[in-house]
Amino acid sequence: MSVSLTVLLMLAPAAASRDTCRDCHAALEGPLAKPAVEFARDVHAHSGFGCASCHGGDPTQEDPALSMSRARGFVGKIVRTAVPRACARCHNDASLMHKFKPQQRVDQLTQYLTSIHGKRLAQGDTAGATCTDCHGAHGILEVRNPQAPTHPLRLPATCGRCHADTRLMARYGLATNQLAEYQASFHWEALSQRRDLSAPGCATCHGNHGATPPEVSSVAAVCGTCHALLEELFRKSVHQPLFATMQRGGCSVCHGHHKVERTSVDMLDGQKSVCAGCHEPGSPGARLAAEMGRRIRELRSALDRSDQILARAARDGMEVSEAVLRQQEGREALVRARVAVHTANLEEVLAWTKQGMAVAHATWQAGQEALRERDRRRMGLGVSLCAIALAIAGLWLKLRSVEASRPGL
Amino acid sequence: MPDNSRRALNFLLGSGIIASLASFLYPVAKFLRPPRVPEAPVNEVRVPGASQITPNTARIVKFGTRPVLLIRVNETKWRAFGATCTHLNCTVQYRSESQQIWCACHNGFYDLNGRVVSGPPPRPLDEFVVRARGDEVVIARRS
Amino acid sequence: MERAMAVQAARRWQGWLEERLGWDRVRMFLAHKEVPVHSGTAWYYFGGITLFLFGIQVATGILLLLYYRPTATEAYESVQFILTRVEFGWLIRSIHSWSANLMVLTAFIHMFSVAFLRGWRRPRELTWLSGILLLGLTLAFGFSGYLLPWNTTAYFATKVGTDLVGSVPLAGPALARFLRGGDEVTGATLTRFFGFHVAVLPALTTALLGLHLALVQRFGISTPPWLESRGDVPQMPFVPNFLLRELMAWYLALGVLGMLAALFPWPLGEKADPFAPAPAGIRPEWYFLAAFYTLKLLPSHIWVLESEQAGLIGLGLLALWWAALPFWGVRPDGHERTRLLTGTGVLLIAWLSTFSVLGYFK
């Protein structure tokens, strides 16, 4: 069986030019025609594979008894539990994949078997996700194709087909709010609205084939693949060993895991404080957070004040582009101060707020100077208008005296 | 017209005209004096204190309105790139230990040709030409 | 004693120069030059004010030339340099921009006042024609100068403007290519516009202005026909009466200019980026707004022509007709077509003002 299959597999590319499976099924109606129609845009079809490559049988024969003969390897519809191994027949074969996409990984099956999906399927639970659930069965598109269900922009909805289905997930006692929470997150906003394809989706943190929720101890490392500096700072802070002992997951303690929202200084103190979750009001930790919050807010107001005075000067016609540029430095210092919060060390935050305040002070002075220059110009205008008025007065009086003696008007 | 008032009138007229002319000619005279920095640094920027940049370190230099990362690779080799990360516009920095340009915001890495090595940046950094003559270093746009 | 010696020295210098330059004839001419006095005399100042503003343009223009660079990479930065680093650069530049706009305004006022006061009648037809050409040159100065700071509004306004020129039937595309120095607005356009603005147009203007002023001196200031028929119109001597008044008007214009430049400095805008999409609501300068808005309103096809072509032909014919005013304004028997004249003038002013306002707000 496997020998004939291998032979057929080798023949498959050559035989793709004559594919009776497609020809017959395309002429049928209803669900039997769908695979043949969809396969036209499948990436496998473009590489010369046909129906028989997965389903077996003989695509050169018109007689169904021959083309769909078990003797010729026909397996018919592949049962869900057999799908991963069916796909892996090629996709786990490095030398075969090398002929088509030398850089593509060939360990998807290995990864899959470590995942919850793979384990459940191996136990016979047909509800477990298999290859075709995410990639499709017949119209499979490359991940980078925006129409593919595995494209970054569509992947959350694909995962959500099961994971947001309360009836389905009830069987496993799993929550179903992840998709909704993720879609309220800043990451999804970056992905869906700014089209930043580097923003994380489900697979970025959970893995794709080896999909597993990260362990509590590895949350920081997972976030740190992009937010490397923040992970570094967090690891050096007192929180890291503390969270580890408390068995709480690093970054997600304060930022959540799916509903990762835009950060703000309000997370330090006040109504929306995340620090207050552990640090009681008046405790050293709470007071530290409050001080950080105060300094950061102070810097932000100082920068805003400078923005305002520079805008006013610009409106009055003064050229303040250099100071406006300098404000960028101040804004960067603000960002770095907020980043330094992760060290849980006040000195680190203060180092940046001090720098930022110096910039805000300098740009404020520049704005003041611009307004003073504007006033100087207006005074200069006044002076020259007086001189002009004097000249006009002199001309008028001269005119009157001339016309008194020589009436010309 | 009595002679005195005529003289007073002429004086008024004359001084009015002279005062107004002075208020016009004063700005013109100041305009004609070359400013301290004689021209706008548009195509070239001289880097002050370049000799103090040690090998395998970098400095951010202002080029017109944008920041430029000037890297001294070794004693004689310099490179310069636009310091704005092509992902979300953070300012990049130089990592001496790996000789790569790094963006702290989302862990983007660029090599010494400005090309993206890893991370989210979608495009390479803009390259600038660096000319070193002894202690003087000049950064210019690539034409 | 010193005074007498000074006067003698002055007389000697005068005599020396007179022998070589022949000034006496000019002095005699000026001494006899007269200006009619009537209710419309105030309008007579506008020609002189336009000339004065042109002089301001030449002076401030030359000053700006000392620092400006006409290439796409440096133009914007050089203007920024003038505004920030050169002492009183902001003032010279703002005066240049404001004076340009005021000059167009006073030129239009001058033209319409001459039209209504019938200053174009025989034998002053050439004065009128040279004046119309000077108005055209003034608009060309405005259009070419507007691009020079190479900011976003200027770039796109020039793009729209040159595209419209390209719509002129037959000669249009070639003319547009000539103006732009290519198929698109580029640094080549900037350099070319600069050449037009500081060399070609000044040369043409000097020649035409010389003709215009010489003709005005030759024929004197005209008196409106309804006063001529009444008989002896009071006259005032040009020197010193009209001259003093004119100087007052010029000082007044200078004061207004100074106030505008200091209180409402001309903005610099953002540097032009040819690859960025055009910002919404790109309009040409106000003096082109009426024509621009009219062209926008036309239906897409008129007869066999596209709207821009038809519109430009229409505007061109209108301009030609207005230029030919001296020839149809008077009937062969010497009587004026008063109703036609007044009607045309009023309609033209009404069209220009309403459509300019509409074009500004739409």
Q: Do B107 and A405 touch (CB under 8 A)?
A: no
Distance set, CA A73 to CA A15, A22, A88, C286, C348 (Å): 15, 17, 17, 81, 90
Which of B20, B24, B42 has the highest number of chain C CBs within 10 A, making it the mutation to test binding with C?
B42
The interface predicted TM-score (ipTM) is 0.82
Q: Is C240 helix (H, G, I), strand (E, B) or coil?
A: helix
Chain C hits for A371, CB-CB cut-off 8 Å, are none
- Final residue of a domain: which of A226, A261, A296? A261
Q: Is B119 helix (H, G, I), strand (E, B) or coil?
A: coil
Closest to B106 (Cβ–Cβ): which among A226, A335, A398?
A226
Q: Do B32 and C77 touch (CB under 8 A)?
A: no
Looking at the fold, whether A357 and A311 belong to one and the same domain comes out as yes
Write down the mean pLDDT value for chain C.
91
Query: Do the beta carbons of residue A398 and residue B14 sit within 8 Å?
Result: no
What is the per-residue pLDDT for A1? 47
Residue of B nearest to A394 (CA): B13
Query: Do the beta carbons of residue B45 and residue B61 sit within 8 Å?
Result: yes
Chain A hits for C247, CB-CB cut-off 8 Å, are 395
Q: Do B27 and C85 touch (CB under 8 A)?
A: no
Interface partners of C (3+ CB pairs, < 8 Å)? Answer: A, B
Mean pLDDT for the stretch of residues B107-117: 94
Looking at the fold, whether A293 and A357 belong to one and the same domain comes out as yes
**DSSP code of residue A266:** G
Cα separation, A202 vs A182, in Å, equals 9
Percent of chain A whose pLDDT exceeds 90:
66
- Cis upstream peptide for C332 (omega within 30°): no
What is the per-residue pLDDT for A409? 47
CB atoms within 10 A of CB A40: 12
- Final residue of a domain: which of A200, A228, A261? A261
Nearest chain C Cα distance for residue B135, angstroms: 27
Looking at the fold, whether A251 and A302 belong to one and the same domain comes out as no
Residue of B nearest to C83 (CA): B31
Closest to B30 (Cβ–Cβ): which among C78, C88, C254?
C88
Cα separation, C362 vs C347, in Å, equals 22
Mean pLDDT for the stretch of residues B73-81: 92
Cα separation, B86 vs B108, in Å, equals 9
Distance set, CA C138 to CA C209, C260, C349 (Å): 11, 20, 18
Cα separation, A358 vs A351, in Å, equals 11
State the sign of the Cα–Cα–Cα–Cα dihedral A257, A261, A266, A271.
Answer: negative
What's the one-letter identity of residue A272? K
pLDDT band at B120 (very low <50, low <70, confident <90, very high): very high
Cα separation, C209 vs C130, in Å, equals 8
Residue where the block lists tokens 């020295």: C9
Is A327 inside a domain boundary?
yes
pLDDT tens, position by position, C170-219: 888 999 999 999 999 999 999 999 999 999 999 999 999 999 999 999 99
Range of the domain at A340: 284-379
| Higher local confidence (pLDDT), C308 or C9 | C9
Closest CA to B64 of C277, C78, A329, A312: C78
**Does the pLDDT value for residue A4 go beyond 60?**
no
Nearest chain A Cα distance for residue B85, angstroms: 13
| Higher local confidence (pLDDT), B9 or A154 | A154
Closest to B20 (Cβ–Cβ): which among A339, A384, A404?
A384
Chain B hits for A332, CB-CB cut-off 8 Å, are 90-91
Q: Do C88 and B43 touch (CB under 8 A)?
A: no
Interface partners of A (3+ CB pairs, < 8 Å)? Answer: B, C
Mean pLDDT for the stretch of residues A225-251: 91
Query: If interface means Cβ-Cβ distance under 8 Å, which residues of chain A face chain C?
Result: 316-319, 321-322, 377-378, 380-381, 384-385, 388-389, 391-392, 395-396, 398-399, 402-403, 406, 408-409
Please name every residue paired with C237 in a beta bridge, in sequence order, or none if there are none: C34
| Higher local confidence (pLDDT), A337 or C28 | A337
Chain A hits for B3, CB-CB cut-off 8 Å, are none
Query: Do the beta carbons of residue A100 and residue A13 sit within 8 Å?
Result: no
Looking at the fold, whether A303 and A358 belong to one and the same domain comes out as yes
Nearest chain C Cα distance for residue A339, angstroms: 33
Is A352 inside a domain boundary?
yes
Q: Do B33 and C66 touch (CB under 8 A)?
A: no
Q: Residues near C245 by Cβ (< 8 Å), separated by ≥ 6?
A: A399, C45
Cα separation, A141 vs A153, in Å, equals 14
Is A223 inside a domain boundary?
yes
Q: Which two tokens stand for residue A126?
A: 């047909």
Looking at the fold, whether A296 and A340 belong to one and the same domain comes out as yes
Chain C hits for A380, CB-CB cut-off 8 Å, are 262
Pairing assessment for the beta strands B116-118 and B108-110 based on DSSP bridges: antiparallel
What is the per-residue pLDDT for A15? 45
Residue of A nearest to C265 (CA): A317
What is the per-residue pLDDT for A202? 93
Mean pLDDT for the stretch of residues A109-121: 93
Residue of C nearest to B28 (CA): C88
Interface partners of B (3+ CB pairs, < 8 Å)? Answer: A, C
Q: Does A388 touch chain B (CB under 8 A)?
A: yes
Mean pLDDT for the stretch of residues A162-167: 93
Closest CA to C225 of C105, C106, C116: C116
Q: Do C262 and A381 touch (CB under 8 A)?
A: yes
Residue where the block lists tokens 């002319």: B21
Q: Do A319 and C264 touch (CB under 8 A)?
A: no
pLDDT band at C32 (very low <50, low <70, confident <90, very high): confident
Q: Does A311 touch chain B (CB under 8 A)?
A: no
Q: Do A229 and B23 touch (CB under 8 A)?
A: no
Q: How long is chain C?
A: 362
Residue of B nearest to A198 (CA): B120
pLDDT tens, position by position, C56-93: 999 999 999 999 999 998 999 999 999 988 999 999 99
Cα separation, A247 vs C230, in Å, equals 110
Cα separation, A55 vs A12, in Å, equals 11
Query: If interface means Cβ-Cβ distance under 8 Å, which residues of chain C face chain B?
Result: 63, 66, 73-74, 77-78, 80-81, 85-89, 91-92, 251, 254
Whole-number CA gyration radius for chain A: 35
Q: Do B27 and C74 touch (CB under 8 A)?
A: no
Domain C17-283 coded CATH 3.40.640.10: no
Closest to A401 (Cβ–Cβ): which among B9, B87, B106?
B9
Closest CA to A182 of A208, A211, A203: A203
Q: How many CB pairs under 8 A join A and C?
A: 66
What is the per-residue pLDDT for A13? 52
Write down the mean pLDDT value for chain A.
89
Is A351 inside a domain boundary?
yes
**Does the pLDDT value for residue B60 go beyond 80?**
yes
DSSP symbols for B44-98: EEEETTGGGSPTTEEEEEEETTEEEEEEE-SSS-EEEEE-B-TTT-PBPEEETTT
Per domain, the residue ranges of chain C are: 17-283
H/E stretch holding C35 reads: strand C34-36
Mean pLDDT for the stretch of residues C328-339: 87
Chain B hits for C81, CB-CB cut-off 8 Å, are 39-40
CB atoms within 10 A of CB C107: 24
Q: Residues near C296 by Cβ (< 8 Å), separated by ≥ 6?
A: C359, C362
Please count the structural domains in chain A: 2
Cα separation, A255 vs C133, in Å, equals 72
Q: Do A196 and B24 touch (CB under 8 A)?
A: no
Mean pLDDT for the stretch of residues B92-101: 94
pLDDT tens, position by position, B20-50: 999 999 999 999 998 887 777 677 888 888 8
Helices (H), A184-340: 186-192, 202-206, 219-223, 228-236, 239-245, 252-255, 284-315, 321-340
Chain C hits for B21, CB-CB cut-off 8 Å, are none
Which of A325, A383, A384 has the highest number of chain C CBs within 10 A, making it the mutation to test binding with C?
A384
What's the one-letter identity of residue B88? L
What is the per-residue pLDDT for A382? 92
Q: Do A196 and B16 touch (CB under 8 A)?
A: no
Cα separation, A227 vs A220, in Å, equals 9
Mean pLDDT for the stretch of residues C143-152: 96
